Every structure is written in C-alpha cells, then in structure tokens.
Amino acid sequence: MPKPAKELKALQVKNLSAPGRHAVGGVNGLCLNITETGARSWILRVIVGLKRRHIGLGGYPEVSLAEARDLALEMRRKISAGIDPVVERREQRQALVVATKQRTTFEQAFTRFFEEKVEGELRNAKHRNQWRSTLKTYAYPVLGEKAVADIAVEDVLEVLRPIWMTKNETASRVRQRIEAVLDWSKAMGLRDGENPAGWKGNLQQLLPSPSRVQSETPRPAVALDDFATWFRLLRARDGIAARALEFLTLTASRSGEVRGARWGEIDLQNAIWTVPGERMKERREHRVPLSAAAVELLEAMPRMLNCDIVFPSPKNGVMSDMTLSAVMRRIQESEEKAGRPGFLDARSRRPAVPHGLRSSFRDWVSECTTYPSDMAETALSHLVGSEVERAYRRGDMLDKRREMMDAWAAFAFGRDVEADGAP
C-alpha cells in the first residue's frame, strides 16, 4: 500500500509553483495540478472498480484546500458505496440537458433567437417589429408556453389553420418564422427530430398550396395613361417628401432605399447612385443610373449642415414610410375634392401607393418599349435568372439601363420620345 502523502498546510499549497501534480495529503489521491501556464486545479486520483479515474474537483483558489479535501472525501465515500462519480456526473449533465429542454418554452426560444440572430440580420425596424408582432399574435396563444422539445405538427397546424385560407400571406410568414425558431432550437440542443413547421414533405401534404390560396393583390399603381398627369401634380407640390417621391419615381426604387439615401452614395459627376447591400432587400449592392432629370432634382436639393441624408425629416433623420404615402394620399384627395376619380389602379380600382410606382415602371417597360425583361428586373433590383446564371453574370447593364431610365423620365414628363430599347 503506497505511503500516504504528507498533509500540506494552506500556505504550503499556496506556495507550490512547479508545473506538475502535487499530492497535498489529507485524503489519499488528492493533488493540486499546475500547468505550464500556471493554471491550478484539484484532481482526485482513484481506482473505481478496475478503472483508474482522474476526477476534477474545481480550480484553485476558487476551491480552497479545505473544500477540496471535503469533496475528495465525499467522492471516496461514494466509491466505497459502489457509485462511480464520473458516471454519476455524466448522468447529472444529461439530466440537466433534458430538464433544460423541458423548461425552454417557444416564447423563451424566440426571445433568444431574435436577440442573437434576427436583430443582427434585419436592419429594418419595420421588419423586426413584424417578426415580433406576427408570432405574438398568432403563435404565442398556442405555442408560447409549450416547450420547444414537445412542439409537434399538430401544434403548428393549430396555429396555421385558422388563418391559412383567409390570411395566407401572413400565415405563410408565420410558418416560416416558427420553422426558423425551431431550427435554431435544434441547433442549440433544445429539441430533436424533424422540424414540424417545415413545408416540403411535411405541411405541404397537409395544407393547400399558397399559390392556390393567395389571390394576386399587387400594390395599386398609377395607370400608364394617367402617369404624366400624376407626375405633373407631384412636381407642383413643395416639400422634401414630394421631392423624395419624385426621385423614387425617376429611379423606380423602393421607399426605404430612397428615404435612407446618403449624399455619400451619390456620384453626381458620373450620374450613379450606389446603394450599399445593407440597405437593399436582397442584401447586395445596387447601382442606379441616374437620368438627367434625377440629377437635376438632386442638384436642386438643399444640403443640411451635419446631415448626410438626401431627403431628411424635419429633425434631420430618416423620414418615415408614411410620409411618402401621405403625399400620394393628398394628391388623390385633391383630385376627388375636384370631382375627379384621381389615380386608381387599373385592376383593383384602389388609389395608387408609392410601391405601386415600381409596378407602373414595369408595365411601361412591357407595354410601351422593347427593352429586355431582365434589364427591367435588374433596374428593380430583382434577382434575375437561376443561381448558376447569376454566378456567371458579371455586369449589371448600367449603360443600357441609363438609356432606359432616361426614356422612363421622358415618359413621366409626358414627352413624346422613342423608347424602343434599340442598342
């Protein structure tokens, strides 16, 4: 039987510095391990059955000498009672994992997922709020208090079925967001198995296809026959919001891109507006060739001191989305007050909205010109072609699109020009 190690005092243990394993006595096999870097920790060397075990008891000085001896003595008592402390610890960790899975609710999982991933990816506050509001409204009543480990297809269907036929676009987004939360939960070890909110090969077999359910409701656009009149009324209005809407029209851009435009993005000399990827829907840089009319508009815009925003709000911030909508609404109200129908979408007969101006541009390309479809889609910053085709497509047809945007501006001004798309 090996000779028991000398029982060291607390001060002697504190003064140990040589790398290696130092027996400290008091309990057979208790050592202070010192690494080459100077890190210190307690180890109990024991034999359990026929296996030699090195059991960690914590770091020093966080665990004092007296505490280490108490822990080591407790371990040896368990071994004498036929318990393997290593196996016991492993089982405790597994039980903790199971307990964590059982405790983590969908609401708790979403909160962490939102803070750790969604907020870092979505710069648009409106889109972040939509994530929260849709899940709070539709998913939480069914899934909120339910453990993510226990959520099954039937639970997801209980969320979706009441709104699938009547609010299919919203329901589809809710499904995608539930799927994302549950994918994150699986990656975090909070659930196992297939995702019950997945579409392909799963809910696809249980719910009607969105393409069959959703009725096509594009944003109301200004009819092409009325466009020059509408644009003339817009240009007659004063104010930065009216100029922002005019610029949006001439560039066929999205509201957020225009409202957030910075002078640093605009090269007036070369008539190019480069929108950085973080401000684009597709998260990729987009170059916009500026027509002569667009350049003239920008050159007439006042530049605010210490403000790089092209179309700032009264407080020199980014104006709200509703500001541009209000300009269109006032034009429509003025027309109706004068006894005229105003500017209604040709299909839905609803008053036109800012986003519908992009549809007007697309209709103009298709119906009034022979410019290629992919050129128009590129101008609208839509993805064109398959993933492989996009990988080989190096250019963005900037010079050709410049000719198209000049022709579009001429159309908006009511000028009779040839826009045939010829090279």
Note the pLDDT tens digit of each residue in 146-169: 999 999 999 999 999 999 988 888
Count Cβ atoms below 10 Å from residue 370 Cβ, excluding itself.
10
Q: The pTM is what?
A: 0.54
Residue 240 inside a domain? The answer is yes
pLDDT at 120 over 90: no
Could you list the beta-strand ranges (E) of 49-148: 51-59
Measure the CA–CA gap between 176 and 109, rounded to whole angstroms: 15
CA 370, 375, 380, 381: dihedral to nearest 10 degrees? 170
Task: Label residue 305 exposed, middle or buried (CB < 10 Å: 0-12, 13-18, 19+).
Answer: exposed
* Phi, psi at 410, each rounded to 5°: -60, -40
Cis peptide before 351 (omega within 30 of 0): no
User: For 39-60, what is each residue's pLDDT tens digit?
Assistant: 999 998 888 877 788 888 889 9
For residue 140, give the CATH number of its domain.
1.10.150.130
> DSSP 3-state helix, strand, coil percentages of the chain (rounded to 5)?
50, 10, 40
Confidence of residue 390 (pLDDT cuts 50, 70, 90): very low
**Do 191 and 266 belong to one domain?**
no
Count Cβ atoms below 10 Å from residue 120 Cβ, excluding itself.
9
**Bigger pLDDT: 342 vs 119:** 342
**Do 355 and 272 belong to one domain?**
yes
The domain containing residue 178 runs over which residues? 104-213
Instruction: Of 199-213, 251-265, 339-353, give the range with the top mean pLDDT.
Output: 251-265
Secondary structure class of 94 (helix, strand, coil): helix
pLDDT at 251 over 80: yes
**Do 204 and 313 belong to one domain?**
no
- C-beta contacts of 235-239 below 8 A and 24+ residues apart: 237/327, 237/330, 237/331, 239/327
Residue 417 inside a domain? The answer is no
**Do 297 and 237 belong to one domain?**
yes
Q: Which of 85, 117, 141 is the last residue of a domain?
A: 85
Confidence of residue 416 (pLDDT cuts 50, 70, 90): low
**Do 38 and 133 belong to one domain?**
no
Q: Which of 33, 56, 85 is the last residue of a domain?
A: 85
What is the total count of domains within the chain? 3
Residue 94 inside a domain? The answer is no
pLDDT for position 392 = 43
For residue 65, give the CATH number of its domain.
3.30.160.390
Residue 23 inside a domain? The answer is yes
Residue 419 inside a domain? The answer is no
